[in-house]
A and B are shown apart, each in its own frame.
Chain A
Amino acid sequence: MSRGVKSGLVAAATLAFAGCAATGAQPQSAGGDAAPATTEAKAERFDKNPYPSTYHAYPGRVTAVTGVTIFDGEGGRIDGGTVVLADGKVAGIGGADTAVPAGALVIDGRGKFVTPGVIDVHSHLGVYPSPSVEAHSDGNEATSPTTPEVWAEHSVWPQDPGFSRALANGGVTTLQILPGSANLIGGRSVTLKNVPSRTVQGMKFPGAPYGMKMACGENPKRVYGGKGRMPSTRMGNFAVDRQTWAKAVAYKKKLDEGKAVDRDLAMETLAGVLSGEILVHNHCYRADEMAQVIDMSHEFGYKVTAFHHAVEAYKIADLLKKEGICAALWADWWGFKMEAYDSVPENLPMVEQAGACAIVHSDDANQIQRLNQEAAKALAAGRRMGIQISDERAWRWLAINPATALGIADKTGSLKPGKMADVVLWNGNPFSVYTRPEKVWIDGALMYDADDPKRRPVSDFELGQPGEGDVK
């Protein structure tokens, strides 16, 4: 979090807190995931989706961008290509011979680039919004080291001006909002479409699974050790985690056996993780700790979907590949705390080279506005050490890879026909510092247009304030 005038320690503490918020998921019912019959029967005793998405695609018109360079988000590239958006979906993608429907709005994309919208797997927009006043500080339920019962969506303030900055300057169309990292288990995350709304429900990504945020290392032991409570050490971190998982395994066993259980919001979330319906997003910097967390996941039978802030992922890239765990990373943040000391700017490409899943994430209301630039810096650092990754392949770090980590890769994250038309038209190569989003579509609706001041959302908070409607 790079904001305000802060003394070093305050800034570091803020970073440390922000660093690692991973929890986001929606009750399983939203996706209709298959579960064992007994679990299903019991689960239906209570509503697993009590805060359902009310998001709907906004009106769009049939649009074709022609003559444009396309990164499809899965590693493909088309020069002089055409993308067709219709009925909220990607309707066509291909070369110059791609059919353009009659009556379509045709945009000349020559000299420009089209990509799928940027997806940020690690944001605290809404839970640590602007202005960052105490009254808005809703990202860490730092009263207990394990709070799987809290849901980030109950903290998200949809009027956070940061959402519109991420849209207009960053081309971000989907983002996961996580609780902070004060707690070992911080609570559930929520995945949002980056559209303005009066309500959080109006932003919720339909059908996205919930995630659950966990945190290793310095933050939990500092926060609770500082209160004279467990955990105050890394071994304390693991002990509290393991005891909690043991209890959750027992709870889930009762559920599976059809036995009566009292409602327990914490255990419901953990049982959802154990059944694979809720995805674990684990803030963890150090290689040795990630390796231990992997063993803990085996011990209790859950899967880590992604390690976030994994500053030392490059040291165990082979292990991440073997375990099928994504590494969500900054390009070059370092030195703000001890577990961020061994950062290397080649982390992303080194993870990619090992065949593991690399993701660029922000954890920051400013960097979310230029995740493309972060990817570009890492890409160049990799090339300097001889790791040759094409631009179009690197775009996976911002598209299909984060979509996969959020469990929504069947819906968005690439420009495959039939997927949601979450699309950015850039006014140049998006790996250049001189490039900005020109237009952003979400489900085929034009939600930002650099050429139309009225297609730049202004949150309630900024209405009537200095700079209302400014380019920002």
Chain B
Amino acid sequence: MIRALLLSAAALVALPAAAQDVAITNAKLVIGDGSAPVEGGTVVVRGGKVVAAGAGVAVPAGLETVDAGGHYVTPGIVAAFSRVGLTEVDAVSGTNDRSAPRTRFSAGLDIAPALNPMGSPVAVNRAAGVTRAVVAPGGSSNLFAGQGAVVDLGDDMDMVTRPRALQYVAFGEDGASKAGGSRAAIFLLFREQLLAARSYARNPAALAEWGNDAMIQRADADALVRVIDGTTPLFVRVDRAADILNVVKLKQDFPAMKLVLVGATEGWLVAPQIAAARVPVIVSPLTDLPNSFEQLGATQSNAGRLEAAGVTVAVGVFDDDDAHKMGYATQYAGNLVALTRMPGASGLSWDQAFAAISSGPARAVGMDDRIGSLKPGRVGDVVIWDGDPLELGSRPTAIWIDGKRQSLTTRQDRLRERYADPSEGALPNAYDW
């Protein structure tokens, strides 16, 4: 009896509901790959995966059908670079697992066990249409911040889609301060740590012989070996045009390494070189102020100019609140569309802009075969919107993640309902729940 109770309690908390098979019909369908929306589209999700999406798709007999009423239906938004799940209240340090400034480890850190799927930022971002997120650590005591994950924002305990999906490192001013005070120190430390990791990979026993003077510890070396061989993409925060070129050149020494630039505020100044190196870029698209001397060339036209040069561009929300406001992705993408109407500016078409917050981030992290679009075989992350998803007033009306229908209710909804009439009645507001 006791055992049965425990089991049922555990089931309530831990077990995700089974994925439903569902067909969403009568959709203004956005695939998310940069193609134009299709009127009268249908998406079929079975076993948690998209099996078909398009205008001429037939609904298999017996499948649950949801009529989208002609509204936009899209893949879920993919937060391109975030800290969702790593913090509840930023300034309450016990809830904040972004960074580990006092650890003796660096590249070996893995943020997966720090993720909290029950945190309110997960629910709030989900209700805004974000279904997946690339989550990166903020920093360690060393140059390398550690390994991030790709996660889903479903209302269950199973959050990690791919652990150790990226390694993160900040170059430029932040990296210089970590490495010892100058950009020269970053590049030397970076190279020495990677070379040490490579030596360790060739002869693991050697590490023990290096003793306390070792450039690197075993856990960190393990992680960096995966960076060198391209198993783990290396996300590099870098902004100054000259720094970008130096980072891109690192591929000459480590040719298998998969680089992804984060920020790249002055990327437009060296767009052809980035394109030639086939390095994807995740931009914070509305960063347009010279916040530092490595961002003097900041402009909202960065994304448009990079895209025009042939760079794979993803749009993120990270020079802003990168844990609580992932829903800004749609607004930011919409702003890039607005730029197409401004003389002298470069923006993105609507189709490009939506791709930059769905398949773009998926491509950057090397997972566009699994997430970020409604092409067959991708996860069943589907959103029905009440309007143009990039418009300020639009919200999701229904969301599926891995084919499972999601709750859209947040703690904020409960507060708003309680205070719809703020005056207290016969009993205090605390009895209204």
| Chain A positions near chain B (C-beta within 8 angstroms) | 2-5, 7-9, 11-13, 15-16, 130-133, 161-162, 165, 169, 218, 314-318, 332-338, 341-346, 350, 354, 365-366, 369-370, 373, 376-377, 379-380, 383-385, 427, 431-436, 450-451, 453, 461-462, 465-467, 470-472
CA–CA, A451 to B344, complex, Å? Answer: 9
Scoring A130, A318, A343, A365 by chain B CB atoms within 10 A of each residue's CB, the highest score goes to: A130
11 contacts between A and B (CB under 8 A): A2-B321, A131-B290, A335-B323, A354-B422, A370-B335, A436-B341, A451-B343, A466-B296, A471-B339, A471-B344, A472-B298
A-chain residues with CB within 8 Å of residue B345 when the two chains form the complex: 471
Q: B121 to chain A: which residues have CB within 8 Å?
A: 335
Distance (Å) between the CB of B319 and the closest chain A CB? 6
Q: Is the CB of B299 within 8 A of A470?
A: yes
Taking CB atoms, residues of chain A closer than 8 Å to B292 are 4, 131-133
Interface size on B, residues (CB 8 A): 71
Contacts of A16 in B (CB 8 A): 91
- Asked if B96 is at the interface of the complex by the 8 Å CB criterion, the answer is yes
Check A318 against B343 for contact (C-beta < 8 Å): no
The residue that A337 contacts in the complex, of B89, B319, B320, B339, with Cβ under 8 A, is: B89
Complex CA distance for A369 and B320, rounded to whole angstroms: 14
Bound Cα distance from A337 to B101, whole angstroms: 20
Smallest CB–CB gap between B37 and chain A, Å?
A: 16
B150-168 contacts to A, CB under 8 A, are: none
Partner of B91 from the list A133, A218, A342, A345 (CB cut-off 8 Å) is: A218
Contact flags (1/0) for B55-88 with A, using CB distance below 8 Å? 0000000000000000000000000000100111
Do the beta carbons of A7 and B419 come within 8 Å of each other? no
| Contact partner, A433, options B87, B237, B266, B334, Cβ 8 Å | B334
Write out the residue numbers on chain A whose beta carbons fall within 8 Å of the beta carbon of B390.
433
Q: Which residues does chain A contribute within 8 Å of B301, judged by CB atoms?
A: 470-472
Q: A7-B139, A12-B90, A465-B296 are in contact. List 15 more A-B contacts (CB 8 A).
A: A3-B291, A9-B93, A318-B422, A318-B423, A334-B124, A335-B121, A354-B422, A385-B416, A431-B392, A431-B393, A433-B335, A433-B391, A467-B299, A471-B343, A471-B344
Q: Which residues of A contact B412 (CB under 8 A)?
A: 334, 343-345
Name the distance in Å between B329's Cβ and chain A's nearest Cβ: 12
Which of A5, A8, A316, A434 is the one whose CB lies under 8 Å from B87? A8
Chain B, residue nearest A427 (CB): B341
In the A-B complex, the 6 residue pairs with the smallest Cβ-Cβ separation, listed nearest first, are A380-B393, A433-B334, A12-B90, A2-B320, A8-B98, A337-B91
CB A452 to nearest CB in B, in angstroms, measures: 9
Stretch from B26-34, B46-54, B281-289 forming part of the interface with A:
B281-289
In the complex, which of the residues B299, B334, B419 contacts A350, with contact meaning CB atoms closer than 8 Å?
A: B419
Residues in B neighbouring A11, C-beta threshold 8 A: 90, 321
**Residue of B266, B319, B422, B423 with most chain A CB atoms under a 10 A cut-off:** B422
Q: Once the chains bind, are B299 and A132 in contact (CB under 8 Å)?
A: no
Partner of A434, one of B86, B288, B289, B337: B337
Judge whether A4 and B291 touch: CB under 8 Å. Answer: yes
Residues of A within 8 A of B138 (CB): 7-8
Q: Is B215 an interface residue (CB 8 A)?
A: no
Known contacts A366-B286, A377-B392, A466-B241, A338 near B89 by CB under 8 Å: yes
B300 an interface residue at 8 Å Cβ cutoff?
yes
A295 to B259, CA, bound (A): 58
Chain B residues with Cβ below 8 Å from A377 are 331, 392-393
Most B Cβ at <10 Å: residue of A169, A334, A435, A467 = A467
Residue in B closest to A367 when the chains form the complex, CB atoms: B320
Is the CB–CB distance between B320 and A7 below 8 Å?
A: no
In this complex, the member of B287, B337, B342 whose beta carbon has the largest number of chain A beta carbons within 10 angstroms is B342
CB distance from B358 to the nearest CB of A (A): 17
Asked if B378 is an interface residue, CB under 8 A from chain A, the answer is no
CB distance from B181 to the nearest CB of A (A): 16
Decide if A315 touches B419 in the complex (CB within 8 Å).
yes
Q: Which of B289, B324, B391 contacts A334 (CB 8 A)?
A: B324
Instruction: With both chains docked as a complex, state the minimum distance between the C-beta of B106 and any C-beta of chain A, in angstroms.
Output: 14
Near A by CB (< 8 A), chain B positions 399-433 give 412, 415-416, 419-420, 422-423
Q: Which residues of chain B have C-beta atoms less than 8 A from A369's C-beta?
A: 286, 288
- What distance in Å separates the Cβ of A269 from its nearest Cβ neighbour in chain B? 30
Minimum C-beta distance from A116 to chain B (A): 20
- Cβ-based interface call for B338 (8 A): yes
Determine the chain A residues whose CB is within 8 A of the CB of B320 once the complex forms: 2, 366
A9 to B83, CA, bound (A): 12
Question: A7-B101, A432-B391, A472-B299 known; A342 and B290 CB under 8 Å?
Answer: no
B376 to chain A, nearest CB (A): 31
A12 / chain B contacts, CB cutoff of 8 Å: 90-91, 96
- Give chain A nearest CB distance to B382 CB in angstroms: 21
Q: Is B273 located at the chain interface by the 8 A CB criterion?
A: no
Instruction: List residues of chain A with CB within 8 A of the CB of B334.
Output: 433-434
The docked-state distance in angstroms from the alpha carbon of A332 to that of B327 is: 10
Q: How far is the CB of A16 from chain B (nearest CB, A)?
A: 6
Residue-by-residue, is B101-115 near A (CB-CB < 8 Å gives 1, otherwise 0)? 100000000000000
Q: Give the chain A neighbours of B339 by CB distance below 8 A.
A: 436, 471
Q: Which residues does chain A contribute within 8 Å of B36, judged by CB atoms?
A: none
| 8 A Cβ contacts from B270-315 to A | 286-293, 295-301
Complex interface: chain B residues within 8 A of A335 (CB): 87-90, 120-121, 321, 323-324
| Chain A, residue nearest B92 (CB) | A338
* A376 pairs with B393, CB closer than 8 A: yes
Closest Cβ of chain B to A168, distance in Å, is 10
CA distance A341 to B87 in the complex (A): 12
Q: In angstroms, how far is the closest chain A Cβ from the Cβ of B77?
A: 15
Verify if B316 is at the interface (C-beta below 8 Å from A). Answer: no
| Cβ contacts under 8 Å, A354 to chain B | 422
A336 to B91, Cβ gap below 8 A? yes
Q: How far is the CA of A39 from the CA of B288 in the complex (A)?
A: 48
Q: Report whether B393 and A5 are in contact in the complex, using a CB–CB cutoff of 8 Å.
A: no
> B338–A9 contact, CB under 8 A?
no
Q: Contacts A132-B291, A466-B269 given; indicate if A316 touches B324 (C-beta within 8 A).
A: no
CA–CA, A451 to B420, complex, Å?
A: 45
Residues of A within 8 A of B174 (CB): 5
Whether B297 pairs with A350 at a CB distance below 8 angstroms is: no
Write the nearest CB–CB distance from B351 to chain A, whole angstroms: 14
A376 to B58 CA separation, bound complex (whole angstroms)? 39
Of the candidates A4, A318, A354, A377, the one having the most CB atoms from chain B within 10 angstroms of its own CB is A4
CA distance A427 to B341 in the complex (A): 9
> A4-B319, A434-B334 are contacts. A165–B341 as well, Cβ < 8 Å?
no
Q: Which among A343, A377, A462 has the greatest number of chain B C-beta atoms within 10 A?
A: A377
Complex CA–CA separation, A256 to B293 (angstroms): 52
Q: Does B289 contact A365, Cβ atoms closer than 8 Å? A: yes
Judge whether B99 is part of the interface by a CB distance below 8 angstroms.
yes
Q: Does B362 contact A (CB under 8 A)?
A: no
- Please indicate the chain A residues that have their CB under 8 angstroms from the CB of B321 in the complex: 2, 11, 333, 335-336
- Return chain A residues, CB-CB under 8 Å to B183: none
Q: With A and B bound together, what is the CA distance between A342 and B413 in angstroms?
A: 10
Interface residue B170 (Cβ < 8 Å from any Cβ of A)? yes
B388 CB to nearest chain A CB (Å):
9
On chain A, the residues within 8 Å of B290 by CB distance are 130-131, 161, 461-462, 465
Task: State in angstroms the CA–CA spacing of A384 and B385 once bound together.
Answer: 13
* Min distance, Cβ A338 to any Cβ of chain B, angstroms: 6
Is B331 touching A433 in the complex (CB atoms < 8 A)?
A: yes
Bound-state CA distance A427–B289 (Å) is 23
Q: Which residues on the A side are within 8 Å of B341 (C-beta)? A: 427, 434, 436
